[in-house]
Structure 1
Amino acid sequence: MKEAPTTYLGVDEKRWGKNTGWIKVDDTICVTTNDGNERCPHYNTQSDAESSLHSSPHSTPPIHLLIASYRDRLCPRTLHNAFSKAKYPNRLFIRIIEQRQPNSDLLDDQSCWDRYCEEYNKSCSQYSQNIYIHNVDSRSSKGPTDARSKLSSLILYDYLHPTSPILSPVSPTDYCMQTDSHMDFSPGFDTSLVEMHGRTKNDYAVLSTYVSPIENTDRNEVEVPLLCMVAFTATMRNWGTKACRNLRTPKLTNALWGAGLSFHRCHGELNVPYDPYLPHVFDGEEVSRGIRFFTFGYDTYAPDLVLVTHDYNGHQGNPVVHTWGGNKGENNNMLRGGEGKEEEGKGFLDEVNRVWDMVDIKGLQRVNLLMGINNSSPTVASKIRASRYGLGTKRTLTQALDFMGVDVVATHLSVKSEWK
C-alpha cells in the first residue's frame, strides 16, 4: 500500500517557523456533492485529453513548448531530450526565443537548431515543422521576463491567425508548457503531464514548481519540490522550495508559480500573458504572474511526479549565461532584438512595439505597483491592474495576498528597516 501523502514544513523553528517536520496532506480539495461525486472549479467531466489521450497521436491535444534561451550551449540537448522522449513528438510544437551574439566563436552563441541537427539528430528535418526560433541579438537582451513575453506574443499570434500561423495554430484547449533551455524529461513526459493535469479535475489548473535537478531524471522520485515561500528584495520573489512525498494528485499551492515549469491549457497563456513591459525584471517575475493567474481564476498545483528536470550545475556554472544583466544601461525603447527590428515578415510583436513609448511605467516599478508593494501612485497602479497585463476579475489582489499569507506593506517595510 502506498504511503500517505505528506508535506515538509522545515527542519528547525528558527529558520522555518513554529511548525516543523512532515505532516499529512489531503488528497483533494474538491467538494463531494449529494450524488457522491467530486466537483472542482472548472471541472470538465470529459475533456478532450481524457477521451483521446491513448487513442491516436493525431487526436492527442498538441503541447506548445515555450523556451527562452540566452547564450545557452545546452539548448540543442534540450531539443533532443524533448523530441526523443515525447510519446508523440509530432504533437510537440516548440517556440524558442534564442538570444545569442552574432559573429561570436563561442559554443554558447551557436545555433540551437543547427547543433541539434549536427550533434543529436541527422534526421532533424522530420521536426522542421515543429519548431520556430526567433533570433535576438544577446547584446540587446532585457532579461528572462522580456524574452518570455515574446513567447506569449507568439502564442497569441498563432491563436489569432489559425490559417497562417508562424508555427502552428493554437486552440485554447491545447496545452502550453514553459520551461528553460537546459532541461531533461522523463520518457512519455508529454502524455504524463496531460494525465497529471487531468488528475487535478480542474481545467484552470496550472502545474508549476522549481523543478528537480537533472540527476533525478526518470528515477521515479516519490519526493517533489513544493513552492510555498516568498522573500523580499527590492520586490517580492519566490524563496526556495519545501517538498511533498507520495502525492496521489497534484497539490494545490498558495498561488506561487515558478518560471522553470508551467503546464496548463493554452487559454491560461492567452488570458494571462507575460507583461512585455518588464525589461530587466528578474525578482518579481514569478510572484507577480502567480498573483495574476490567481486573480484570473487559475489554481497553481505542485506536480505529483518528477517529469521535468533542470541542469543546475551545467547551466549556472557557465559564466556566459549570466551576462544578460550587464545590458541594463541600454535604451529601454529598444524592445526588439538585433538592430531594433523584429524578424522580417513576422508581426507578432507589432502591437507591443506600437505602444511601447506610450507605456510610462515599466520594469520593477510596474511590478511593485501591480502587487501593492509601492502605493505611491494609486491611480497608476489601478491603470496597470486594469490593463491587459494586469489583474483578473475572478479574485481580488487582497484575496490573492491573503491566500499567499503575505502582508506586502508590513513585511516589506520591516525588511527595508532591517537593511538600514
Structure 2
Amino acid sequence: MLTPEGASYSRSQCKVLGLFMLLLMLGLTVMSWFLLAFMSGGCDGNACTHEDQIVPDVPESPLLSIFVSVASYRDPECKDTMQDIFSKAKHPERVFVGSVQQLATDIEEACWRPGLKWGQQIRSITVPFSEARGPTNARHLAATLYRNEDYFFQIDSHTTFRQDWDEHAIAMLDRCPSAKCFLSHYPPATGDPGLQVPVLCMSHFDEGAQMPSFEARNFDLQVGEFMESPFVGAGFQLSSADVLLEVPFDPKLDMLFVGEEILYSARLWTKGWDMYAPDMNLVWHHYNRSEHPNVFRDRTEEWWHPQQGANARARFLLGMNETAPPGETPSSLAFYGMGTARNLTDYWRYAQIDPWERVADSQQKFCHKHVRRRAALPGPQPAAGATDAAGQNATARKLLQPLLHRPSP
C-alpha cells in the first residue's frame, strides 16, 4: 500500500493503526459522557438517576418587615423594652427600630445595652434632655428613621411584649375588616393577665386644655373580632407603614400632651383610615411612673408657653379655632391637616362629640360590643402576611421618602 507521500505500509500495520484510532475515539466519547454526568449531577460518584440529581432550592419570599417607633425620655426601662422587642419576636431579623432617646446620662437612660445582638437594626437619634420638645415632637423625629419597611408599630419606651408578637401583629392586620386598618388602644397595665382587651370608647372634655380626651373600657374579644374606635392612643399604633406618608407626624406641636391623640385620630379618619381596637393584646404598658423623670417636671419653667402655641395649632386644625396660629396660613398647615376622603364635621358626628358645645357622648355608641369580622374574599386567599394593608403603595413610598425625611423646622 502506498501513502500520499509514497511511503509503503503492510496490511497488518494498517489494521493496527485503524484499531488504535477506533479505541482513541471511543475513549474520548466515554470521557465526555462522564464529564457531562459529573457537571450536571453531582451524585457522589454513583450512577445518577432523575431522583438523585440536585435541584436548586427555590428562594423563599422575603419576610415582611416591621418598623417600631420608640420615643424615650430619660427612661431606665427603655433598655428592657428594646431587649424585649427582639428577644420575643419570632423573626427578629425583620424588625427595625427607630429610637429617639432624650437623655441626661448615657449610662442609665440609654435605650440599649452594649453588645445587643440586634443592635445593627436600631436607628437612633439622641437629644439632650434639656432640648427635648415633648412627646409629639419625639414621635415625629422617630418617624424620620423609617426606611421603607412594610409595617408601622409605635409603642412607648416602658412596654413589654407577648411572645412572637411580630407574627401576631401581621396576622392581626390580615384579619382586620378594612384595607386601610389602623389598630390602636391603651394597652393593659404591666402585670395584668391581659385576658380582656381595652377599647378606646369613652370621651370627655379636658377643661384645662379645652380639648376632647378619652379613656378605655375592657372587653372580652375573640380572635377575629374587631371593635370600632373613633380614637387612637399614642402608646400602641399598628398599621401598614403607608400611614407614615399619608398622615405624617406634625413637627410643630411642642410640649403638646392633651390634644395629641384626638388630633391624630381626626387626621387619620378624614384621610380614609378605619380605626379599631386590636383583637388581642400584644403589649403591656407600665403606667403610674411617678418615680421616673418627666419632661414637664424637669422643665417646669419652660413647657407652658410652647404648649399654648401647640394647643392653638391643634385646635385650629380641628376646626375649633377660627384664626390660624401666628405665622401660619391654612395652606401652610395643609400638609399636617385634615384629609379629603372624609369630612371633619362628619368625624365629630361619627365620634359623638360636639367640640363647640363641649359635649362628648362617645360611650353611647362605641362602648357596646358590636364587632366586625373580615369578610370572606372570593377566590384563592393570599398567604399569611400578604395583606391588603401592607406593601400596596411601595412605589409611592419611595417617591415620597423626601417628604417624610424633611428636617424639623
Q: TM-score, normalized by length of structure 2?
A: 0.67
Q: Which residue is equivalent to 1:317?
A: 291
Asked if structure 2 preserves the Cα contact closer than 8 Å seen for 1:250 and 1:301, the reply is no
Q: Which residue is equivalent to 2:355?
A: 408
Residue 72 of structure 1 aligns to a residue in which SS?
A: coil
Deviation at 1:90, TM superposition (A): 0.9
Q: 1:201 to 1:381 in 2, by over 3 A?
A: farther
> Matches of 2:107 and 2:330 in 1, distance apart?
44
Q: Which residue is equivalent to 1:271?
A: 246
Asked if structure 2 preserves the Cα contact closer than 8 Å seen for 1:74 and 1:182, the reply is yes
The structure 1 residue matched to 2:337, chosen from 390, 398, 402, is: 390
Q: Which residue is equivalent to 2:300?
A: 326
Q: Which residue is equivalent to 1:299?
A: 274
Q: 1:191 to 1:409 in 2, by over 3 A?
A: same
1:128 pairs with 2:103: no
Asked if structure 2 preserves the Cα contact closer than 8 Å seen for 1:211 and 1:309, the reply is yes
Q: 1:270 to 1:56 in 2, by over 3 A?
A: farther
| Paired residue total | 300
The letter of the residue matching 1:72 is D
Asked if structure 2 preserves the Cα contact closer than 8 Å seen for 1:63 and 1:176, the reply is yes
Larger Rg: 2
Provide, for residues 314-356 of structure 1, a one-character-per-residue CA deviation record: whole Å limited to 9, x for no partner: x343245653553635996xxxxxxxxxxxxxxxxxxxxxxxx
The structure 1 residue matched to 2:135, chosen from 117, 138, 144, is: 144
Provide, for residues 63-93 of structure 1, a one-character-per-residue CA deviation record: whole Å limited to 9, x for no partner: 0000110000000000111110000111000
> Matches of 1:178 and 1:89 in 2, distance apart?
16
Provide, for residues 114-160 of structure 1, a one-character-per-residue CA deviation record: whole Å limited to 9, x for no partner: xx23xxxx5x2x313210110001101111001111122332xx3xx
Asked if structure 1 preserves the Cα contact closer than 8 Å seen for 2:85 and 2:161, the reply is yes
The letter of the residue matching 1:67 is V
Residue 69 of structure 1 aligns to a residue in which SS?
A: strand
Residue 72 of structure 2 aligns to a residue in which SS?
A: strand
Asked if structure 1 preserves the Cα contact closer than 8 Å seen for 2:200 and 2:217, the reply is yes
Q: TM-score, normalized by length of structure 1?
A: 0.66
> Matches of 1:145 and 1:373 in 2, distance apart?
20
Asked if structure 2 preserves the Cα contact closer than 8 Å seen for 1:144 and 1:280, the reply is yes
> Matches of 1:283 and 1:56 in 2, distance apart?
49
Provide, for residues 162-197 of structure 1, a one-character-per-residue CA deviation record: whole Å limited to 9, x for no partner: xxxxxxxx05xx000100001100000011011111
Asked if structure 2 preserves the Cα contact closer than 8 Å seen for 1:256 and 1:287, the reply is yes
Q: Which residue is equivalent to 2:110?
A: 111
1:80 pairs with 2:83: yes
Residue 197 of structure 1 aligns to a residue in which SS?
A: helix
Asked if structure 2 preserves the Cα contact closer than 8 Å seen for 1:139 and 1:327, the reply is no
Q: Which residue is equivalent to 1:162?
A: none
Residue 215 of structure 1 aligns to a residue in which SS?
A: coil
> Matches of 1:87 and 1:56 in 2, distance apart?
20
Asked if structure 2 preserves the Cα contact closer than 8 Å seen for 1:373 and 1:412, the reply is no
Asked if structure 2 preserves the Cα contact closer than 8 Å seen for 1:69 and 1:180, the reply is yes
> Matches of 2:247 and 2:231 in 1, distance apart?
15
Residue 240 of structure 1 aligns to a residue in which SS?
A: strand
The structure 2 residue matched to 1:368, chosen from 312, 315, 321, is: 315
Q: 1:384 to 1:146 in 2, by over 3 A?
A: farther
Provide, for residues 225-258 of structure 1, a one-character-per-residue CA deviation record: whole Å limited to 9, x for no partner: 0101222222324322112213332524342000
> Matches of 1:329 and 1:321 in 2, distance apart?
8
Provide, for residues 257-284 of structure 1, a one-character-per-residue CA deviation record: whole Å limited to 9, x for no partner: 0000000001011110111110110010
> Matches of 1:106 and 1:87 in 2, distance apart?
29
Deviation at 1:111, TM superposition (A): 2.2
The letter of the residue matching 1:268 is V
- Residues 91-240 of structure 1: matches in 2 within 5 Å? 91-101=94-104, 104=105, 107=108, 110-113=109-112, 116-117=113-114, 122=115, 124=116, 126-155=117-146, 158=147, 170-171=148-149, 174-216=150-192, 219=193, 221-233=194-206, 234-240=209-215
RMSD: 2.9
- Residues 237-256 of structure 1: matches in 2 within 5 Å? 237-256=212-231
Deviation at 1:369, TM superposition (A): 0.6
Q: Which residue is equivalent to 1:283?
A: 258
Residue 395 of structure 1 aligns to a residue in which SS?
A: coil
> Matches of 2:188 and 2:59 in 1, distance apart?
31
Q: Which blocks of at least 5 consecutive residues in structure 1 are unaligned?
A: 1-54, 159-169, 333-360, 414-420
Deviation at 1:385, TM superposition (A): 8.7
Residue 267 of structure 2 aligns to a residue in which SS?
A: helix
Q: 1:244 to 1:73 in 2, by over 3 A?
A: same
> Matches of 1:329 and 1:322 in 2, distance apart?
6
Residue 348 of structure 2 aligns to a residue in which SS?
A: helix
Q: 1:329 to 1:407 in 2, by over 3 A?
A: closer
> Matches of 2:249 and 2:271 in 1, distance apart?
13
> Matches of 1:386 and 1:69 in 2, distance apart?
27
